Amino acid sequence: MAEWKSLDVLICEYTEAQRRLEEAIERNRAQAAESRNIVQRMKLDRACEVMRLELASLTRRIIEMQNIVKERENRERHQREQASHGRGAGRKAVWPDCDCPDRAYHT
């Protein structure tokens, strides 16, 4: 369970890094727009491009981690539903998120 909590923490940290990158890109764009020096503008534009690539990479990693969390939650929900139907653990229980058609299996 601790490893999944750390995954949630990573998602938060990556999301914060994503926000900081977006802010840095905006700052560089503003500086480039104000600069009269062509070399300076080119350097700022290049830095923006590098940051956009990193932003895309962060976004992909966040989505991958969110998918892992969702898959785990779905697996756990399925296991609870199986247990509530008398399969798996061998005992019945009531689960509010069970999608049984008529809850006939619940006790």
For the chain, the average pLDDT equals 83
- Cα separation of the two ends of the chain: 28
Q: Which of 40, 49, 43 is nearest to 21 (CA)?
A: 49
CA distances from 65 to 59, 69, 71, 89, 104 (A): 10, 6, 10, 29, 36
Tell me what pLDDT residue 49 has.
96
Q: Which of 15, 14, 26, 16 is nearest to 51 (CA)?
A: 26
Tell me what pLDDT residue 99 has.
60
Tens digits of residue pLDDT in 2-49: 566 688 888 999 999 999 999 999 999 999 999 999 999 999 999 999
SS3 85: coil
Provide the residue ranges of all domains of the chain, joining segments of one domain with +: 2-84
Return the axis-axis angle of helices 38-84 and 2-34, rounded to nearest 10°.
160
